[in-house]
Amino acid sequence: MNARQYCFNKSSRLLSSRDFTVVFDNPPFKVSHPQLLVLAKHANTPQSRLGLVIGKKNVKHAVHRNRLKRLIRESFRLKQHNLPAIDAIVLARRGADTLSNAELFSILDKLWTRVARKATK
């Protein structure tokens, strides 16, 4: 595999409010865990894109929100080559900040697999 395929740059992110709204309005693929929810739809772009919603209401401290964002991005960066072209939004629920890094990676790995399976049906 080419190292370029593992990058997470601007084209790998959902940036505009419109991008988020399109996914939020009617997501055909939903996978969840008690601490995380992934909403996804087929993308209009050739590659998968990621959006994050880590609310202050569910994750109180900025340090924990930033850690979650960093780990979710890293998980997506490593798994994006296994995903079909989708736009995905990961939402953090209460208790997401209590997960260890290893637990979070394990949960995300399972969620990405489930999203890929649903999107390829």
The CATH number linked to 60 is 3.30.230.10
Q: How many domains does the chain have?
A: 1
Q: Residue 2 domain-assigned?
A: no
Does a structural domain hold residue 1? Answer: no
pLDDT, tens digit (0-9, with 9 covering 90-100), for 28-41: 999 999 999 999 99
CA dist., res. 104 & res. 107, Å (int): 5
Phi, psi of 36, deg, nearest 5 = -140, 150
- Residue 83 in any domain: the answer is yes
Task: Give the pTM.
Answer: 0.91
Q: What is the mean pLDDT of the chain?
A: 91
- Expressed as residue numbers, the domain containing 97 is 9-116
* In the chain, % of residues over pLDDT 90: 76
